[in-house]
Structures are given as structure tokens and as C-alpha cells.
């Protein structure tokens, strides 16, 4: 008996890099045709009436004009059809999938199916059965089933790493292995392998960045302005699957590379796009959510210095926001303040940041010699001590400074150089209300925090923070003063939180101890701040901003769930952390950390007699 060992022939690169397999046994070409055709049919169905009555929100009774949830199905179907055509190599569309075309098609098709059938089920439940569907609804249901079958029949592939160069050695070999690890990810909501980008002119690269920012502003404006509950749930489904599909296609990696190359252009463009948000609103309703998102995001970015860069787990960070807010409230001229002081905003902002920094030093000096869980417990205790202290400063249990549970109320609106933030103003023909005024002011504060974060992370002290985070023992052995470096991070993060708190005090009119708990239904609080940093992407600028926006917007829009609100929210977090553990917008280092266990598939040998 002889034993022979054979190896499979070398597979082509790209989507067919390794041997695929289908979940339901339908051949892959048939699956692509089903998914692509189903996406196109879904687009057609949105121009038909889905129900005969306008009692379902969005008025899905109109022919030739998609409305409500039909718009989301239209987007999902169009994305599915485009990725499907790109998978066939259609000229001009292949550029849409520099990564994995089949993986992008699969996720887009599944998103179309889920959104379509969610709408069909919602219509049936709310109106009382499938009998309330018009022909367009049945066409949409069939299109959704076709996309689902097509998605399930597409092969699941483990992408192959780039072949190693035997002549590589030293640093080049390390760079090569890093590229391999960066292009091999687990299936799910992670980016696919990205082909080498084609060189574009500088103006074209900037144009791509502008389009990406405009698209982000459009998605955010649409999500924050959803008029009814069913539409927001559909928006979450469509956005989640669309982002995953675009990431798998490799477009997210391409845009990230361009933004890293043109950092200043990206920063200015993002600021302009955010500043345009109030001008897209017809009233001040959604600007209210916008300004609170900015406050939450700014504080999360400050926490990112402590957690993301220095690696210090701070569970009482929201207390520094409270220190800044109480400081500003006491010197704002409020009748509830024990001090008869009314400072201009620039003075109160600097004072709030300075007082918060002092508290950061006071708390950090005796505690930052601790590490890990011990430091987390101490900072958690500081947060509770702050809340209990301001609660007891009511003139009965302690000195009369903070009015106890009543807090400091009737905080006046800001007036900077004659511009009253509490009044409506007309700018370029657009009516800008109170919360829109504070939104623009908070945007300036956010810009300051972003610049501080960026300059700090790129500085010598920023490199020391990263060294401490990665391995404190090794950093100390290299001569880094760990205690001093960590204290600077703690103080700087506290100052940025205090700066945001000075604006929060004027926005909310009242500051009370209940606003600064570790865990509270309404953010910001320490738990939500930490979740925003981890969910968005530790050590990055845009990550905490996106994470904070999601963590504030989703609970605000899920209030219709009542007692199940936190359950649905927690489930969403579990899914996101399962499929995107490195965060929505991670840096390359964390991508490698979470995916370093993924290896290239091995070729199995077969023994024969």
C-alpha cells in the first residue's frame, strides 16, 4: 500500500482565492443572478403601491413615488443591484468593489431582504393581515425572498493572505506580515481584502472625501429626522447592512486611506458638513438632539485620551463634566448660585476647564500608581463621591453651595458680543433657533478638542501614552516616567470634559446631581461614555464621535419600546461588539490586535491507497 499526498492547484486571487461553499447548495452563478435580479425587482416594487390605506405611516399607497420605508428598500435594492453587476465585472462598476464583491453583494442582499420583510410584517401587524397588501407589496416580498436566496447561495470564503516574499527580512518582513493581518478578517461586519488602490489626482481624492462627508451628513440628517418609529428601525437595519456591505467591498478602507492622506482637508470638510446641519432643519426640534450629541461626543473624545491613548480605565469620567457644569453655573449670574458673580463665557469656560483639571490632578495623584481593575474601581468611587457631595451641599447636610438635589437652576442664556444664544436669528435667510445657536457654539468647542487630541496624540507625550498603554513595564524600562505621563493624560482629559460641561450648563438651564451618575437611562454618563469610545474605536478621532452619536441617537429614538428599550439597545451593542470588536472606525493597530489570530487557510492533504 502506498500513500500519496496531493495538494490543490493554486487558486486565483480575489473572490475565488480559496475553495468556497454555499449554505443552501445553489450554484454561485445562480445565486449572483438571484441577488442581482432581486435587488433590481425591489427597486421596481418601490414605485408601486404596497397597501391600499394611508393609515400605515409613510403613505405607501402612491404609484410612481416611493415614500417612507419604500425609500429604504429602494436604497438597499439599488446597492444590491450595483454590487451584483460589479461582481460580473461590468465595466465602470468594478471600481465599486476593490475588496470582495461577493461578500458585499451578500450583505447588501440580506439587508434588502430584512428591510423589505420588516416592512411587510409591520404593515400586516398594524393593519390586520396580509390582505391589506397591494400588488406592489407582494412584488416586494418576492424580491426580498430572491435576494435572500441569492445571498445564502453565495459562497462563504476565507480570504487568502498575500504570499510572502522569501527575500523579505527584518522590518520589511514585519511590514509584510502586518499587511497580511490587515487584509484577513473574520466574516461579518469587517472590511474585506482591499486591492492596491489606483493612483488618483489630488483633486479627485479631495472630491471623494467631499462626497463621503456629504453622504455622511445626508445619512445622519435622515436618521435624526425620521418621523415615526417604524421608519427609524428600518433606517437602522438598512444603514447597518449597507455599512457592512460597503466595508466588505473595500470602499471604507479606500476612503480611510484618502482621509489619512489629506487630514487637514478632512478636518475642515467635516467641520463644514457638521456646521451645515442646522441649515438643513426647518425647526429647532432636531437641533436639540444635535447639540446634545455634540456634548456627548466631545466628552467621549476627551475620555479617549485617557482610555484610548493612555490605556487608563476611567469609570467616573462624567464627574469632570459635572465639575465644569457646576463651575460655569455658579459664575453665570444664576439666582440659584450662592455666588453673586456673572463672568463672560470665555472666562467661565476657562475656569470650568481649569477647575476640572485641578480635580483631575487631585484625584489622579494618589491613584494613578494603581493599574487595571484597581484603577477602574477607584475612578468609579470618585464619580459617586462627586455626585453624593454635590447632593449633600444643600445647607442642611453640608454647606449651602449646590442646592442639593434641586441643583442650580435658571442659568441664563449666553450672550457673546451682543449675540443672544437664547433668541432666534436669521443667517443667510435661514432661521436659526436657540438649540441651533448652541449647536454651532458646541461645534467650535468640539473643533478645539479635536485639535488638542490630534496634536497630543502626534506629540512626544502621545507616543509615551501609547507606550504606557501597550506595555507599562517596558515603557518604564525605556525611561518613560509613567506616573507623570498618566497624570498629564488624566488632567488633560478632565480639562476637556470640564470645557464641554460649561456649555452643557447653559444648554440645559439646570445642573443637578442626577445628571452625572455612572449609569443612567439618558446619556451622557460614565457607562455610555466608555461604551462610545470602545464602540466607535479607541485611539481615533472620528471613532468616539460616531460612537457617541449612535449611543445618543438610538436610545432617543427607541423610546417607543418602553420597558424593552434597554434590552434592544443592549442587544444591538452585543451584536456590534461581536462582529466589530475593534470598533466602527478603528485604527490599524487595534485591527491587528483583534484579528491577529486569523491565519491563511491551509491546504489539506489527502491520503490514498
Q: Which residues have C-beta within 8 Å of that of residue 274, sequence separation ≥ 6?
A: 217, 443, 446
Q: How many alpha carbons fall within 13 Å on the CB side of residue 430? A: 15
| Helix, strand or coil, per DSSP, at residue 196 | coil
Question: Which residue has cell 491546504?
Answer: 603
Q: Inform me whether the pLDDT recorded for 583 exceeds 60.
A: yes
554, 574, 598: which is the final residue of a domain? 554
Q: What is the pLDDT of residues 223-237, one digit of tens each?
A: 888 888 889 989 989
Q: Inform me whether the pLDDT recorded for 14 exceeds 60.
A: no
Q: Which residues have C-beta within 8 Å of that of residue 385, sequence separation ≥ 6?
A: none
Q: Inform me whether the pLDDT recorded for 7 exceeds 90.
A: no
User: Would you place residue 590 in the very low, low, confident or very high pLDDT band (cuts 50, 70, 90)?
Assistant: low
Q: Inform me whether the pLDDT recorded for 608 exceeds 50.
A: no
Cβ atoms 71, 42 nearer than 8 A: no
Helices (H), 458-512: 460-470, 472-477, 482-508
Q: How far apart are CA 560 and CA 565, in angstroms?
A: 8
Q: Inform me whether the pLDDT recorded for 431 exceeds 90.
A: no
Residue 103 is assigned to a structural domain of this protein: yes
Residue 431 is assigned to a structural domain of this protein: yes
User: Would you place residue 108 in the very low, low, confident or very high pLDDT band (cuts 50, 70, 90)?
Assistant: very high
For range 357-371, the mean pLDDT: 86
pLDDT of residue 200: 74
30 and 125 in a single domain? The answer is: yes
Q: Inform me whether the pLDDT recorded for 279 exceeds 80.
A: yes
| Helix, strand or coil, per DSSP, at residue 333 | coil
Q: Inform me whether the pLDDT recorded for 363 exceeds 60.
A: yes
Q: How far apart are CA 593 and CA 574, in angstroms?
A: 19
Its domain, for residue 485, covers 284-554
398 and 526 in a single domain? The answer is: yes
pLDDT of residue 352: 92
| Helix, strand or coil, per DSSP, at residue 420 | strand
Residue 41 is assigned to a structural domain of this protein: yes
pLDDT of residue 336: 84
Tell me whether strands 606-608 and 430-432 are parallel, antiparallel or unpaired: unpaired
525, 554, 583: which is the final residue of a domain? 554
pLDDT of residue 44: 94
User: Would you place residue 184 in the very low, low, confident or very high pLDDT band (cuts 50, 70, 90)?
Assistant: very low
Tell me whether strands 415-416 and 4-6 are parallel, antiparallel or unpaired: unpaired
Q: Inform me whether the pLDDT recorded for 168 exceeds 70.
A: no
pLDDT of residue 197: 56
Q: What is the pLDDT of residues 109-155, one digit of tens each?
A: 999 999 999 999 999 998 888 888 988 999 999 999 999 999 888 87
Cβ atoms 219, 239 nearer than 8 A: yes
Q: Inform me whether the pLDDT recorded for 194 exceeds 80.
A: no
293 and 231 in a single domain? The answer is: no
Helices (H), 88-191: 101-127, 135-153, 171-183
Q: What is the pLDDT of residues 402-419, one digit of tens each?
A: 888 888 888 888 888 888
Q: How far apart are CA 540 and CA 457, in angstroms?
A: 9
Lowest mean pLDDT among 275-284, 452-461, 593-602: 593-602
pLDDT of residue 36: 92
- Which own/partner pairs from 62-65 qualify as long-range (CB within 8 Å, at least 24 positions apart)? 63/136
459 and 525 in a single domain? The answer is: yes
217 and 297 in a single domain? The answer is: no
352 and 207 in a single domain? The answer is: no
Residue 168 is assigned to a structural domain of this protein: no
Residue 522 is assigned to a structural domain of this protein: yes
pLDDT of residue 156: 58
| Helix, strand or coil, per DSSP, at residue 313 | coil
pLDDT of residue 141: 93
463 and 410 in a single domain? The answer is: yes
246 and 292 in a single domain? The answer is: no
| CATH code of the domain in which 444 resides | 1.10.3470
Number of domains observed in the structure of the chain: 2
Q: What is the pLDDT of residues 28-79, one digit of tens each?
A: 888 889 999 999 999 999 999 999 888 888 889 889 889 889 999 999 999 9
Q: What is the pLDDT of residues 545-581, one digit of tens each?
A: 888 888 888 877 777 777 777 777 778 778 777 777 7
Rounding to the nearest 10 degrees, give the CA dihedral for residues 273, 276, 277, 279: -170
pLDDT of residue 35: 92
537: region left, alpha or beta (phi > 0 left; psi from -120 to 50 alpha): left
Residue 137 is assigned to a structural domain of this protein: yes
Residue 593 is assigned to a structural domain of this protein: no
For range 253-260, the mean pLDDT: 84
For range 159-185, the mean pLDDT: 38
Q: What is the largest CA-CA distance in the chain?
A: 100
Return the percentage of the chain with pLDDT > 90, whole number: 20
Cβ atoms 100, 63 nearer than 8 A: no
Return the percentage of the chain with pLDDT > 70, whole number: 84
322 and 381 in a single domain? The answer is: yes
Q: What is the pLDDT of residues 439-491, one digit of tens each?
A: 999 999 999 888 888 888 888 998 999 888 888 888 888 888 888 999 999 99
* Residue 567: CB atoms within 10 Å: 11
For range 507-512, the mean pLDDT: 89
38 and 117 in a single domain? The answer is: yes
For range 494-503, the mean pLDDT: 92
Q: Inform me whether the pLDDT recorded for 265 exceeds 80.
A: yes
Residue 228 is assigned to a structural domain of this protein: yes
* Arithmetic mean of pLDDT over the chain: 80
Cβ atoms 496, 350 nearer than 8 A: no
Question: Which residues face 606 on adjacent strands?
Answer: 6
Lowest mean pLDDT among 4-13, 44-53, 394-403: 4-13
554, 570, 601: which is the final residue of a domain? 554
413 and 460 in a single domain? The answer is: yes
361 and 498 in a single domain? The answer is: yes
Question: Which residue has cell 461578500?
Answer: 103
pLDDT of residue 188: 38
Amino acid at each position: 500500500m502506498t500513500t500519496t499526498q496531493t495538494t490543490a492547484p493554486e487558486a486565483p486571487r480575489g473572490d475565488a482565492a480559496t475553495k468556497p461553499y454555499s449554505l443552501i447548495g445553489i450554484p454561485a452563478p445562480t445565486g449572483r443572478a438571484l441577488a442581482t435580479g432581486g435587488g433590481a425587482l425591489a427597486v421596481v416594487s418601490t414605485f408601486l403601491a404596497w397597501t391600499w390605506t394611508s393609515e400605515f405611516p409613510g403613505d405607501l399607497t402612491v404609484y410612481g413615488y416611493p415614500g417612507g420605508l419604500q425609500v429604504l428598500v429602494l436604497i438597499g435594492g439599488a446597492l444590491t443591484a450595483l454590487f451584483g453587476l460589479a461582481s460580473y465585472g461590468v465595466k465602470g462598476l468594478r471600481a465599486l468593489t476593490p475588496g470582495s464583491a461577493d461578500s458585499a453583494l451578500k450583505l447588501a442582499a440580506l439587508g434588502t431582504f430584512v428591510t423589505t420583510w420588516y416592512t411587510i410584517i409591520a404593515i400586516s401587524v398594524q393593519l390586520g393581515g396580509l390582505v391589506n397588501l397591494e400588488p406592489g407589496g407582494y412584488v416586494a416580498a418576492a424580491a426580498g425572498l430572491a435576494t435572500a436566496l441569492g445571498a445564502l447561495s453565495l459562497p462563504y470564503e476565507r480570504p487568502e493572505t498575500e504570499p510572502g516574499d522569501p527575500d523579505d527580512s527584518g522590518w520589511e518582513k514585519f511590514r509584510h506580515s502586518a499587511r497580511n493581518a490587515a487584509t484577513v478578517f473574520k466574516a461579518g461586519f469587517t472590511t474585506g481584502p482591499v486591492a492596491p488602490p489606483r493612483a488618483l489626482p489630488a483633486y479627485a481624492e479631495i472630491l471623494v472625501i467631499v462626497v463621503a462627508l456629504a453622504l455622511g451628513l445626508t445619512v445622519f440628517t435622515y436618521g435624526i429626522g425620521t418621523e415615526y418609529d417604524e421608519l427609524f428601525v428600518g433606517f437602522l437595519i438598512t444603514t447597518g447592512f449597507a455599512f457592512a456591505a460597503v466595508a466588505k467591498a473595500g470602499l471604507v478602507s479606500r476612503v480611510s486611506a484618502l482621509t489619512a492622506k489629506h487630514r487637514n482637508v478632512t478636518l475642515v470638510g467635516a467641520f463644514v458638513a457638521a456646521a451645515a446641519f442646522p441649515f438643513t432643519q426647518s425647526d429647532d426640534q432636531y437641533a436639540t438632539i444635535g447639540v446634545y450629541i455634540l456634548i456627548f461626543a466631545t466628552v467621549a473624545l476627551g475620555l479617549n485620551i485617557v482610555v484610548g491613548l493612555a490605556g487608563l480605565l476611567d469609570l467616573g469620567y462624567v464627574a469632570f463634566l459635572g465639575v465644569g457644569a457646576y463651575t460655569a453655573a455658579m459664575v453665570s449670574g444664576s439666582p440659584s448660585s450662592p455666588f453673586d458673580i456673572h463672568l463672560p463665557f470665555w472666562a467661565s469656560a476657562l475656569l470650568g476647564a481649569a477647575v476640572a483639571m485641578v480635580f483631575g490632578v487631585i484625584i489622579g495623584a494618589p491613584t494613578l500608581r494603581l493599574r487595571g481593575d484597581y484603577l477602574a474601581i477607584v475612578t468609579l468611587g470618585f464619580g459617586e463621591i462627586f455626585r453624593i457631595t454635590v447632593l449633600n451641599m444643600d445647607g442642611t447636610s453640608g454647606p449651602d453651595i449646590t442646592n442639593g438635589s434641586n441643583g442650580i437652576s435658571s442659568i441664563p442664556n449666553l450672550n457673546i458680543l451682543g449675540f443672544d444664544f437664547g433668541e432666534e436669528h436669521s443667517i443667510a435667510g435661514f432661521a436659526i433657533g436657540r438649540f441651533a445657536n448652541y449647536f454651532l457654539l458646541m461645534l467650535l468647542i468640539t473643533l478645539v478638542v479635536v485639535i488638542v487630541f490630534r496634536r497630543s496624540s502626534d506629540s512626544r507625550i502621545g507616543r509615551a501614552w501609547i507606550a504606557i498603554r501597550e506595555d507599562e513595564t517596558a515603557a518604564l524600562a525605556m525611561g518613560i516616567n509613567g506616573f507623570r505621563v498618566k497624570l498629564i493624560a488624566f488632567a488633560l482629559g478632565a480639562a476637556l470634559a470640564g470645557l464641554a460641561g460649561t456649555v452643557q450648563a447653559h444648554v440645559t438651564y439646570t445642573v443637578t446631581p442626577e445628571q452625572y451618575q455612572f449609569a443612567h437611562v439618558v446619556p451622557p454618563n460614565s457607562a455610555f461614555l466608555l461604551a462610545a469610545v470602545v464602540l466607535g474605536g479607541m485611539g481615533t478621532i472620528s471613532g468616539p464621535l460616531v460612537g457617541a452619536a449612535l449611543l445618543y441617537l438610538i436610545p432617543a429614538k427607541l423610546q417607543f419600546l418602553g420597558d424593552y428599550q434597554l434590552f434592544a439597545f443592549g442587544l444591538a451593542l452585543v451584536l456590534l461588539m461581536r462582529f466589530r470588536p475593534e470598533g466602527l472606525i478603528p485604527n490599524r493597530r487595534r485591527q491587528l490586535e483583534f484579528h491577529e489570530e486569523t491565519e491563511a487557510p491551509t491546504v489539506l492533504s489527502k491520503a490514498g491507497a
